[in-house]
């Protein structure tokens, strides 16, 4: 494959000299793979959309953002059909991960004003605010269906729960929900961002007061990169809290720039070069950095080049069927660095979703929107 960057800084991927890639066609191919019934195919088993869980939630948000950029009614119909079907089923167990699909549902409600969605959104928001387990200082404890993760903060929580709370606060005019989302970001920054490097640790525990393995896990860093710029875009706030979040974002972006590999990807442990390169984190970082440049959170050629190289690398990992390759599987908290090196690599729903987000920025840039 040959990569070219045009004079106007748009990214193009040439396949054997056959011309520039069509980002819209590529997004449709990624969506088609996500919509395919994979049955018992072990190679694509993590691509399932037949559940109410965090991988599905990330994918659905990426699908919604693709619709928002393209205006393709077929994508909106897919989302509406998915939620209408799932909401007829037994409600899921409530935990941090099952909050994730409510973010795209809130976006869908904002688009359609379907009254059936409103009580679902309100119920989940009240649960997060009033009933979700908390750590010391009121942090959202990263409780899952399998483990309460007592007194633990994970960077994943920002994407899985806090963005929903902010979006619901905007859509339903509940500023106190947005305030809580901002507080959670500030608390997670305080305990997860390394003061020396600017990178984010995967987690923190108040029960023992440590960052576990001191792992700068790539997708965890991407969760912050994506969710921080989304929080700003969703709320439009520029208050003291948001300025602190922006400062943390800029510190992280500089660190990520220093650690990006020559192939454009990021390794699954950002500062451990011998670990494998990971596509979903790279897609999330490419999206966050590119969007930050557009919205004024970042400036400078170093970040423009960083985003271009990352996007090139991700596009090269999307196969002819639309599956995003090189994605690490679901990753629990590691107590040593070896834990992260042994996680399986396979196409996943969230890998598709993060690729969607990245592609929406490429499409927007190409169309000048």
Q: Identify the CA nearest to 220 among candidates 140, 286, 156.
A: 156
pLDDT at 19 over 80: no
Banded model confidence at residue 290, pLDDT cuts 50, 70, 90:
very high
**Cβ 206 vs Cβ 151: under 8 Å:** yes
Strands 203-205 and 277-278: unpaired
Quick: pLDDT tens for 292-313. Answer: 999 999 999 999 999 999 999 9
**Cβ 160 vs Cβ 97: under 8 Å:** yes
DSSP symbols for 175-198: HHHHHHHHHHHHHHHHHHB-TTT-
Return the CA Rg of the chain: 19
Strands 152-154 and 203-205: antiparallel
Quick: pLDDT tens for 169-178. Answer: 999 999 999 9
Determine the Cα angle at 88 with ends 86 and 93, to 5°: 65
**Cβ 291 vs Cβ 229: under 8 Å:** yes
Assign 134 to helix, strand or coil.
strand
pTM of the entire structure? 0.93
Assign 53 to helix, strand or coil.
coil
Q: What is the pLDDT of residue 56?
A: 97
pLDDT at 3 over 70: no
**What is the number of domains present in the chain?**
1
Q: Say how far residue 268 (Cα) sits from the centre of its chain.
A: 15
Q: What is the pLDDT of residue 5?
A: 28
Banded model confidence at residue 11, pLDDT cuts 50, 70, 90:
very low
CATH of the domain at 99: 1.50.10.10
Q: What is the pLDDT of residue 43?
A: 53
Determine the Cα angle at 188 with ends 195 and 126, to 5°: 170
pLDDT at 7 over 90: no
In angstroms, the CA 132 to CA 237 distance is 25
Q: Which domain holds residue 190?
A: 2-367
Banded model confidence at residue 214, pLDDT cuts 50, 70, 90:
very high
**Cβ 347 vs Cβ 327: under 8 Å:** yes
In angstroms, the CA 145 to CA 332 distance is 13
Q: Alpha helices, DSSP H only, in 236-300?
A: 240-259, 279-295
């Amino acid at each position: 494959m040959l990569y070219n960057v045009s004079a106007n800084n748009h990214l193009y991927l040439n396949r054997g000299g056959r011309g520039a890639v069509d980002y819209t066609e590529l997004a449709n191919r990624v969506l088609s793979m996500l919509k395919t019934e994979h049955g018992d195919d072990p190679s694509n088993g993590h691509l399932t959309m037949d559940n109410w869980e965090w991988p599905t939630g990330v994918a659905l948000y990426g699908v919604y953002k693709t619709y928002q950029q393209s205006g393709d009614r077929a994508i909106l119909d897919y989302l509406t059909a998915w939620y209408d079907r799932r909401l007829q089923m037994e409600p899921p167990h409530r935990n941090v991960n099952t909050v994730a699909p409510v973010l795209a549902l809130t976006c869908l409600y904002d688009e359609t004003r379907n009254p059936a969605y409103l009580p679902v959104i309100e119920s989940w928001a009240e649960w997060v605010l009033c009933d979700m387990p908390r750590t010391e200082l009121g942090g959202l404890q990263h409780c899952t269906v399998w483990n309460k993760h007592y007194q633990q903060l994970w960077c994943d929580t920002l994407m899985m729960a806090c963005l929903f709370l902010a979006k619901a606060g905007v859509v339903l005019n509940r500023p106190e929900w947005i305030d809580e989302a901002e507080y959670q970001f500030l608390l997670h920054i305080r305990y997860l961002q390394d003061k020396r490097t600017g990178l984010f640790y995967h987690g923190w525990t108040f029960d023992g007061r440590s960052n576990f393995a001191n792992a700068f896990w790539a997708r965890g860093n991407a969760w912050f990169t994506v969710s921080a710029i989304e929080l700003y875009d969703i709320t439009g706030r520029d208050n003291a809290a948001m300025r602190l979040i922006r400062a943390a974002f800029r510190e992280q972006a500089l660190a990520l720039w220093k650690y990006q590999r020559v192939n454009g990807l990021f390794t699954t442990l950002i500062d451990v070069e011998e670990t494998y390169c990971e596509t979903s984190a790279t897609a999330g970082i490419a999206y966050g950095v590119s969007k930050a440049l557009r919205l004024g959170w970042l400036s400078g050629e170093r970040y423009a080049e960083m985003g271009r190289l990352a996007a090139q690398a991700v596009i090269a990992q999307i196969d002819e069927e639309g599956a995003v390759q090189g994605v690490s599987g679901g990753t629990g908290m590691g107590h040593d660095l070896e834990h992260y090196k042994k996680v399986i690599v396979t196409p996943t729903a969230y890998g598709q979703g993060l690729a969607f987000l990245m592609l929406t920025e490429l499409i927007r840039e190409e169309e000048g929107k």
